[in-house]
Structures are given as structure tokens and as C-alpha cells.
Amino acid sequence: MINVSALSPKERLLRVLHKEKVDRPPVICTGGMMNAAIVDVMKKTGHTLPAAHKDDLLMSELAFDVHENTRFENLGAPFCLTVEAEVLGSEINIGSLTCEPKIEKEIFPSVSGVVLPDLKEWGKSARVNTVIQAGYRLAGKHPDVPLIGNLTGPISTAASIIDPMTFLKELRKNKETAHQIVDQVCDHLIEFARLMVDSGVTLVSIGDPTSTGEILGPKMFEEFAVRYLNKIIDAVHSFGAPVIVHICGNLNMVKSLVAQIKADAISTDAMVNLRSLKEEFPHLTTMGNLSTYLLEFGPNKKIARQTEKLVLEGIDIISPACGLSTSTSLENIRAMTGAVIEK
């Protein structure tokens, strides 16, 4: 039996990702598309969005606020899915206290006209440097808490710089060029991941909400999602960091393909039966998948029961199923984290 007091949050999460024994599952919320910077935390601390998207001190303070107040056992940055698209040229609406940043206008109408900037632009970008400097601050001040660097997945990034409806059609109609562009996008995402790992992140989490079986279908999911996610995962592994991948939606059509993704853990949406997925593919390290609807609306006794059920079912990492509403109450989140930590 492993002594609980002997494991820091960082050690516990890394042991799970390395398929080693732990006393209990970690309970985390990665950041990025699974941002836990809720209004309750921001109002309590005075460290707020949207300012923290562009200020590394504020970003690091808010990331720690989330960890300290919610009891999620990690630090995570950035708090959105728009950094990559902004660096690659799209127009961004930076959002507000209650609304996350969004793509205002994609820079390219089609895969045919895409010209991406030099990879060196990543090191020059103000928003990238906000994330990187926040990483240095967090890794230096909180060495026992895992720091998760968040990356937008390749299909979602491509659909954030190219008109998404046109892009999704061109995956089939202009396949060769689409492959070239997604491959180039991967190179840019790998450079961002490298900068984050150099800044001290413990692992990288990839959120790719456009890469679902429902949107792409099995054939395109295998050809584009699995292939390019694995390219990024292989690169991040070569940098010495583990990878979590979140796949949105229902996995029924693509379950066997998800099992081919080389991530150290697979995070899923609430409608996925993680216990069955784990039984069908025992090599998978499973993460999730408490309903964010339940987390927002409660009641908190049901939140605690559902969380305890995930623990009893042997889910490896306990986490919200997807992005939290900013109006989710701190009380409800602590019902979730407490159900794991206090047992």
C-alpha cells in the first residue's frame, strides 16, 4: 500500500501516466478547453480574465487561484483555445470575465491559399510569451504541483485559421492540400509545445474539439485526427513530457481508432462509458468524465455520488468531462474534488 503522504500531486499524476500504482486517482482540470477559471474564483481573488490572457503574472496567479480554491490537483495554462490561431493570423475576440475568447475571423478562406508564418514567430508572439513566462513562474514556485501546458489540436487549429465549413469539406475534396496544411500546422503546434516544455510544464494536454467521430466520421478520423495527433504526441514524448488527449463527443463510431492514439491518457465526454472503454481497451489510461451540466447545476450531493462512482469504477484520472461553464459554483466543484481527496 502506497503511503498517501509520500505522494505529491505531481508524483501521483505522473505515476498514473506511467501506469504505476497510486493510492487514489488524481482529480484535475487541465486548463485550455477545460478551463476552471470560474467567476466565483475570479471575484474572490481579484485576478480576472480577460486581463490574464495577456499578462503572465496575472495568468500565473489565476492558475494558482484555481488550484488553491477548487482543489483541482494541477496548475493549467493558457485558459483558452485561441493562442495558436492568433499567432497564425486569425482575428480573436479576447472575451470577458464570463465569456472565453473566440475566433472572430479566420485568416484563410480555403486550404489552397494557406501560407503559414515562420516557426520563429512563436518565440516572438506576445501571447505565447505570456504563456511561457507564466509557465516559468508556476514551475518555479510550485514544484510539487503538476503544471499542464495546453495545446489546441491540429484539426481544431486548422479549422481556426481556415473557414471551418470549407475546411471540413476540403478534407475530402482537396485531400492532398489539406494533408499538407494540417502537417504544417502540426509543426507549429510542436514548436509551441517545445516552448512550453522548456518553460517547465510537467505534461501537455491536447484539446481537439473538432476531431470527433461525429464531425469527421471514422475514415477521416483515422486519416487526419489519429495521424496528426500522434505526430504531435511523438514529438512531445521526444521532449520528455507525457501527453493527455481530450476527444469530444460520442466515441461509438471511432472507439478502436481512439485506442490507436499514443497519448498517455485519453479524456472523454460525459456520454462515454469510461468503465466499458477501459474494459475493452485495457492499455488505455482513462480520464474524466463528470458531466459539466451536473457540475454547473448540481445538486452537490449528486456531484459527490457521481464522482465517487467514477473512482469505484477504476477511472484513472478524475476530471470534468469537458469545458466548465464560468458560472459553475465553487461549492459544486469542491463537492467533486472533495469526493476524491477526502475519501
130-184 pLDDT tens trace: 999 999 999 999 999 999 999 999 999 999 999 999 999 999 999 999 999 999 9
Grid coordinates representing 180 are: 499538407
Report the 10 Å Cβ neighbour count for 46: 10
Q: Round the average pLDDT of the chain to a whole number and report it.
A: 96
- Residue 343 has a pLDDT of 74
Contacts of 311 by beta carbon, 8 Å cutoff, 6+ apart: 24, 25, 318, 339, 340, 343
Main-chain phi, psi angles of 172, to 5 degrees:
-100, -40
Backbone conformation region of residue 166, classed left if phi is above 0, alpha if psi is from -120 to 50, else beta: alpha
Are 153 and 206 in contact, with CB atoms under 8 Å apart?
yes
- What residue has cell string 481556415? 162
Contact 331, 302 (CB under 8 A): no
| Interval 289-298: pLDDT, tens | 999 999 999 9
At 228-287, the pLDDT tens digits run 999 999 999 999 999 999 999 999 999 999 999 999 999 999 999 999 999 999 999 999
Question: 127 near 54, Cβ under 8 Å?
Answer: yes
Mean per-residue pLDDT, 316-333: 96
Average pLDDT, integer, range 109-113: 94
* Nine cell digits for residue 64: 494558482
The Cα–Cα gap between 149 and 195 comes to 10
Cα–Cα distance between 165 and 170 in angstroms, integer?
Answer: 9
Mean pLDDT in residue range 191-218: 96
The one-letter code for the residue type at 114 is V
CA 161 – CA 92 distance, rounded (Å) = 11
- Looking at the predicted structure, is the pLDDT value of residue 1 above 90? no
